Amino acid sequence: MLRAVIGIALAAALVALPHGLSFSQQEILVFLTINVLLVASYRLLTLTGEWSLGHVVIMGVGAYASALFTKQLGLFVPLSMLLGALTAAAVAWALSFPLFRMKGFYFLIGSFAAGEIIRLLWKRFRDPFGGPKGLKGIDPMPDFSIGFYDFDFFEPVSYYYFAGTVVAVCLWIMWRIEHSPVGLTFHAVHWQDKLAQASGIDVRAYRTRAFVIASGFAGLAGALLAHYIGTINPNSFDVEVMVFVLTWAIVGGTATFYGPILGCVMLTVLNEIVLRELGFEQMRPLIYGAVMILSILFLPKGLESVVERLVGPRRARA
Amino acid sequence: MTELLAQTGLNALYAASYISLVAVGLVLIFGVMGVVNFAHGELFMAGAYAIVALYADIGVPFLAAVAAGLVFVGGLGLLMERALFRPLRDNPLGGLVASIGFLMILQALAVMGFGVRMEHIPPPTQDVIVLSEKVRLPVSRLVVIVSAVLLLSALWYFLKRTRFGWALRASAQDPEAAALQGISINQTARIAMFIGAALAGVAGALTAPLVSVNPHMGHSVIVTAFIVIIVGGVGSLEGAVVASVLYAFVHTIVTTFYDGVVADIVGLSLLLGVLVVRPTGLFGTADRA
């Protein structure tokens, strides 16, 4: 009962939120919504214990694929977004063959190398990827109406509602996956991989599954981004963005579903509202770096551990 | 054709020299501390900016500025050891994340201090050794090659022939057993971080007049260093040197006959190939993970 009330209040607040913001803040809100999907999908990937450095490039695969489906084949935008997500998942599946021969540090470096190769291919091949300048003039979402609300995608508010709905559905699916037998097996593979293997679980197959599913959602996030900003290039998905995702996950903590989302929201608010308003734009990487170091030194379990401590005694659950 | 190959060989030898300085430092840090120092490319960048500040701006003699860069970047290494890696010793992922944070701080400081534009550094000497009509070796490149050989020989002597070197190798092999023998882990960590960082700084300082110095130059350096240490076998200093030479030759030849981006793709594919076929690298042993 209490949870339902909280849920409805949260949903109402999220619907009302953009109307109190300026135009540029509304745009940031759209990026934040997409980033929430990205970081939540990243957590799904880390459930099996492997940390990838190629996740943002996989997001880029979804963005490039969806943009090319509309540009070259003239597909309907929402359909091409879904196909973009499927392409990202398919690329991840292909990459899983070399990558999951590795673990830990080697997987980290291997995923980094695989991501860089994809990025260099975008850079090298002007046709169809547009080379270093990337793709421009990507078709926007076509406007539509659902009776009581007209979606006009020149307005960030409309795109926020559209992307927000997509992201909410994706989060719900990811939550269901994590609490299904498959998701519980992901946890087992992470914490007890020898035992899981001895119990007849194909550890590598489950790692691949987590990787492919997470990549599909990351690809969808990329497609949402591409059709919003209309232009993408290889540097939109470089390692600096990956570092931001990593920071969100580390600062928020990855033990709970909401941890990385919390990290993403808090750091975006800190960055956009506080730093930009105060004129510290140039110091952004410096502050991100410092926050990253301070949180790993003093809050190694992330912001979520603070939340757990505050509400912990009453709701002592895993 | 022979002349083209000879010139390509000289170019590769020059690339191999500074790459091996960077890679050997990275391996040393990984071996002793057990952390992957993602900020290693930015230590290289810091060395290059030491030359910008001291040699190009104030006019300190080039080799004195290189020496100052060595000490400065070595000092950065000590700072990282004390502030980041020591408190996070039991947390390998934490060390990696902290080094990524440090990387961003160094990059932002370079941007704030010097701006994002490319720095132009006049080379200390314009002399060129003409070996034949088409085979030329600029003296500034020869300086890099000679310095790398001298520094790596000195490091080899230090590691294999001195007591400190023995202690360092002992704690790289088995920190607990080394501690039981009265070797201070903190001290060996300090020495390893100083040497490892200083080698990257020296490489950046020596090559500063020959490359485009900018705050984001560390990225390609760290990518190259990762390729080299994986191909050579993580934890193997000899492997890092051999892999540097191998990589430099492959990369230079592909760049000469195709272009730089293809060469980068070939290099990264080499890395993935080694990881798939022989994850311990050419010289690594299985128990070092």
pLDDT tens per residue, range A183-239: 888 888 888 778 888 888 888 888 899 999 999 999 999 999 999 999 999 989 988
For A100, nearest residue in chain B (alpha carbons): B276
**Is the pLDDT confidence value at B289 over 50?**
no
Q: Which residue has the tokens 């900003």?
A: A229
Residue type (1 letter), B190: R
* Percent of chain A scoring above 70 in pLDDT: 97
Q: Is the pLDDT of residue B166 over 70?
A: yes
Task: Assign A315 a pLDDT band (cuts: 50, 70, 90).
Answer: low
SS3 of residue A180 by DSSP? coil
pLDDT for the residue B285: 62
The model's confidence at residue B193, banded by pLDDT at 50, 70 and 90, is: very high
User: Which of A58-62, A160-164, A306-310 has maximum average pLDDT?
Assistant: A58-62
A218 in Cβ contact with A259 (< 8 Å): no
Taking residues A84-107, what's their average pLDDT? 90
Say what the pLDDT of residue A313 is.
58
Mutation target to probe the A interface, by most A beta carbons within 10 A, among B272, B274, B280 is: B272
Pair A103, A50: CB distance under 8 Å? yes
Segments of chain A assigned E as strands: 144-145, 150-151
d(CA B67, CA B74): 11
Which residue of B91, B112, B269 is in closest CB contact with A282?
Answer: B112
Mutation for testing the B interface, residue in A57, A111, A284, A292 having most B CBs under 10 Å: A292
Nearest to B19, CA basis, from B275, B193, B267: B267
- From B100, B109, B227, residue closest to A292, measured CB to CB: B100
Question: Per-residue pLDDT tens for A269-293?
Answer: 887 777 777 777 777 788 888 888 8
Amino acid identity, position B258: Y
State the pLDDT confidence band at B77, using cuts at 50, 70 and 90. very high
> Chain A: nearest CA to B184, how far in angstroms?
23
Q: What percent of chain B has pLDDT over 90?
A: 40
Q: Band the pLDDT of B197: cuts 50, 70, 90.
A: very high
Task: At A312, list the tokens.
Answer: 């912990």
Q: State residue A39's pLDDT score.
A: 94
Q: Do B105 and A290 touch (CB under 8 A)?
A: yes
On chain B, the residues whose CB falls within 8 A of the CB of A96 are: none
Contact partners, residue B114, CB within 8 Å, separation at least 6? B49, B52, B215
Residue of B nearest to A292 (CA): B101
pLDDT at A316 over 80: no
User: Could you tell me which residues of chain B have a Cβ less than 8 Å from any Cβ in chain A?
Assistant: 36, 84, 87-88, 91-94, 96-98, 100-105, 107-109, 111-112, 219, 223, 226-227, 230, 234, 261-262, 264-265, 268-269, 271-272, 275-276, 279, 289
- CB-CB contact of B76 with B197 (8 Å): yes
Whether residue A174 has pLDDT greater than 50: yes
Instruction: Locate A173 and state its tokens.
Output: 């699916």
**Which residues of chain A have a Cβ shorter than 8 Å from any chain B Cβ?**
51, 98, 101-102, 104-106, 108-110, 112-114, 116-117, 120-121, 123-124, 239, 243, 246-247, 250, 282-286, 288-293, 296-297, 300
Looking at per-residue confidence, does A107 or A226 come out higher? A226
Please state, in angstroms and rounded to a whole number, the distance separating the CA atoms of residues B93 and B14.
34
Residue carrying structure tokens 């033990």: A255
* pLDDT for the residue A90: 96
Q: Does the beta-carbon distance from B109 to A116 stay under 8 Å?
A: no
The answer to whether the beta carbons of residues B161 and B247 sit under 8 Å apart is: no
Q: Which residue in this structure is represented by tokens 């390893």?
A: B192
Structure tokens at A63: 């963005």
A140 Cα to chain B: minimum distance (Å) = 32
| pLDDT band per the 50, 70, 90 thresholds, residue A312 | low
Band (B150; pLDDT cuts 50, 70, 90): very high
CA atoms of B24 and B262, how far apart (whole Å): 25
How far apart are the C-alpha atoms of A239 and A73, rounded to whole Å?
30
- Of the residues B268, B276, B277, B278, the best mutation for testing chain A's interface (the one with the most A CB atoms within 10 Å of its CB) is B268
Most confident of A149-163, B93-107, B145-159: B145-159
Q: What mean pLDDT is reported for chain A?
A: 87
Q: What is the pLDDT of residue A317?
A: 47
CA angle B194, B200, B203 (to 5 degrees): 135
Residue A26, pLDDT above cutoff 80 = yes
Q: Looking at the predicted structure, is the pLDDT value of residue A318 above 70? A: no
Please state the rounded mean pLDDT for residues B43-57. Answer: 92
B44 pLDDT more than 90: yes
- How many percent of chain B have pLDDT more than 70? 98
Closest by Cα among B280, B253, B211, B265 to B49: B211
Considering only residues A276 and A98, tell me which one the structure prediction assigns the higher pLDDT: A98
Q: What pLDDT does residue B56 have?
A: 87
Facing residue for A113 by CB, picked from B102, B104, B271: B271
Instruction: List the single residue in A with minimal CA-CA distance to B88.
Output: A297
Which residue stretches of B162-259 are H helix? 163-173, 175-180, 185-207, 218-232, 237-257
Q: How confident is the model at residue B287 (pLDDT cuts 50, 70, 90)?
A: very low
- Between B91 and B20, name the one with better pLDDT: B20
Instruction: Give the integer Cα–Cα distance in Å for A215 and A61.
Output: 9
B98: phi then psi, degrees, rounded to nearest 5: -65, -35
Per-residue pLDDT for A152 more than 90? Answer: no
A86 to chain B nearest CA, in Å? 24
Look-up of token digits 């042993």: B285
Residue pLDDT, tens place only, A44-88: 988 888 889 999 999 999 999 999 999 888 889 899 999 999 999
- Vertex A126 angle, CA A61 and A82, to 5°: 25
pLDDT (tens digit per residue) in B203-256: 999 999 888 899 989 988 988 998 898 888 877 888 889 999 999 999 999 998
- Name the minimum distance, in Å, from the CA of A248 to any CA of chain B: 12
Is residue B10 predicted with pLDDT exceeding 80?
yes
Nearest CA in chain A to B110: A286
**Taking CA B187 as the corner, what is the angle to CA B186 and CA B193, rounded to the nearest 5 degrees?**
90
In Å, what is the CA distance from A209 to each residue of A53, A182, B181, B266? 17, 9, 47, 29
pLDDT at residue B247, rounded to an integer: 92
Phi, then psi, of A225 in degrees rounded to 5: -70, -45
CB-based contact A289 B36, cutoff 8 Å: no
Cis check: omega of the bond before A128, within 30 degrees of 0:
yes
Q: Do A106 and B108 touch (CB under 8 A)?
A: no
Mean pLDDT, chain B, rounded, equals: 88
Chain B: give the shortest CA distance to residue A286, in Å. Answer: 4
Of residues A171, A170, A169, A149, the one with CA closest to residue A158: A149
**Which residue is listed with tokens 């539509």?**
A144
**pLDDT recorded at residue A217:** 96
Q: Using an 8 Å Cβ cutoff, are B97 and A250 in contact?
A: yes
